[in-house]
Amino acid sequence: MRIRRSLIDLDDLSAEDIREIFARTAAFEREPENASLAGRVCANMFFEQSTRTFTSFNIAEQRLGMHVVNLSPKEMSLSGKGETIEDTAITLGAMGVDAIVMRHPEAGFPARIAGAFDGHVINAGDGANAHPTQALLDIYTLLEEFGELGGRTVAIVGDVLHSRVAHSTIRGLHRLGASVVLIGPECFLPGDYADDGVRVERDLDAAIPTLDAIILLRIQRERFAAMPLSDEEYVAAYQLGERRLGRLRESTVVMHPGPYNRGMELDDSVLAFAGWRYAKQVRHGVAIRMAVLDVLING
Ligand code: NCD
């Protein structure tokens, strides 16, 4: 394994590294209480709202036996006293913090702290850039469903432009051989995404019968000033609801990184759909984060 000290995006992982993380994920799911990091210290620094990722990392760290410190921005000298991120990293390292899990609205922030910190940094989402552990848990959920991803077509639908989840998931799916189709309006999915070896589609209805899996995305309204098209236009063209569910293949699964907005990218019929895998994604998230921490720290 060529795994690095920190996990900033899926570029840091080869296909072999990803498979190693998935093997450990499966082992942690079989045996969730596993103190393989007993006595190690993890600091969670979340500068942006989070329910799933924050809780999931906390549970993962505690199951591994780590000491957990949760820092929120208002408690940090970084915010009010002019301390730089680099000096914050030096300070935490001197106290014996082994790992920092960081979420930040600015793209590149976790990479900066990784450059200054002597331990391990895990990116828990930076701006619209990357969210590697979410991508890993999404791909793990797909592998559980399909065994292999070669020959499978996975669609990512909606606001791809502003979605760090999509940016990381596209890389991982590509690396594991899935065929990726991105579906959305020009304002949320510029045509040049097709350069990354993925297909860009505008017409969800045309693509629907060809898909093995659909990953829906929330419109990231906090990342742009004005909605470029009306909610009604978006819903008419891209919402997954009863009519479109009826045109899916019987084996197609539907996923969402959460939080999902009922009435926008999906309606209630999706939540009752047999192929809806959201709860499985969330469940796998804990063991994925245990595996990432274990691989980075224990090697
Ligand atoms: C996402 C995020 O914060 O990037 N959620 C998550 O971590 N599961 C997606 C979103 O906010 O839409």
Residue 176: both structure tokens together? 């594991």
Q: Span 130-140, mean pLDDT?
A: 98
Q: Span 211-238, mean pLDDT?
A: 96
pLDDT exceeds cutoff 50 at 35: yes
Rounded to the nearest integer, the mean pLDDT of the chain is: 94
Q: Name the amino acid, one letter, at 16.
A: E
Nearest to 18 by CA among 139, 154, 167: 139
Q: Where does ligand 1 bind, in terms of residues with CB under 6 Å?
A: 52-53, 125, 131, 134, 164-165, 218, 220, 257-258
Q: Domains in the chain: how many in total?
A: 2
For residue 1, what pLDDT is reported?
46
By alpha-carbon position, which residue is closest to atom 12 of ligand 1? 218
Tell me, yes or no, whether 158 and 61 share the same domain. no
d(CA 106, CA 164): 11
- Which residue range(s) make up the domain with 138? 132-278
Tell me, yes or no, whether 114 and 247 share the same domain. no
d(CA 14, CA 172): 9
Q: Span 225-234, mean pLDDT?
A: 95
DSSP-H helix ranges across 96-230: 109-116, 132-146, 164-175, 204-207
Tell me, yes or no, whether 186 and 264 share the same domain. yes
CATH of the domain at 232: 3.40.50.1370
The residue count of the chain comes to 299
Tell me, yes or no, whether 154 and 256 share the same domain. yes
**95, part of any domain:** yes
pLDDT exceeds cutoff 70 at 104: yes
Helix, strand counts (H, E) of the chain: 12, 9
Long-range Cβ contact pairs of 190-194 (< 8 A, separation 24 or more): 190/161, 193/160
Q: Span 269-282, mean pLDDT?
A: 98
Mutate to test the pocket of ligand 1, among 134, 164, 168, 218 (most ligand atoms within 8 A of CB): 134
The string of pLDDT tens digits covering residues 77-86 is 776 788 888 8
d(CA 162, CA 52): 19
| Ligand 1 atom closest to Cα of residue 53 | 7
For residue 264, what pLDDT is reported?
97
Q: Name the amino acid, one letter, at 62.
A: Q
**191, part of any domain:** yes
Q: How far is ligand 1, taken at its centre, from the CA of residue 94, in Å?
A: 32
Mutate to test the pocket of ligand 1, among 44, 46, 131 (most ligand atoms within 8 A of CB): 131
Q: How far is ligand 1, taken at its centre, from the CA of residue 95, in Å?
A: 31
**215, part of any domain:** yes
Q: How far is ligand 1, taken at its centre, from the CA of residue 34, in Å?
A: 27
pLDDT exceeds cutoff 70 at 3: no
For residue 92, what pLDDT is reported?
94
pLDDT exceeds cutoff 70 at 216: yes
| Ligand 1 atom closest to Cα of residue 218 | 12
The string of pLDDT tens digits covering residues 42-74 is 999 999 989 999 999 999 999 999 999 999 877
Whether pTM exceeds 0.75: yes
d(CA 289, CA 293): 6
pLDDT exceeds cutoff 50 at 119: yes
Q: How far is ligand 1, taken at its centre, from the CA of residue 52, in Å?
A: 8
For residue 84, what pLDDT is reported?
86
Q: How far is ligand 1, taken at its centre, from the CA of residue 211, in Å?
A: 23
Tell me, yes or no, whether 183 and 270 share the same domain. yes
Confidence of residue 75 (pLDDT cuts 50, 70, 90): low
Tell me, yes or no, whether 272 and 287 share the same domain. no
Tell me, yes or no, whether 113 and 170 share the same domain. no
d(CA 290, CA 101): 12
**3, part of any domain:** no
Q: Span 3-20, mean pLDDT?
A: 90
**46, part of any domain:** yes
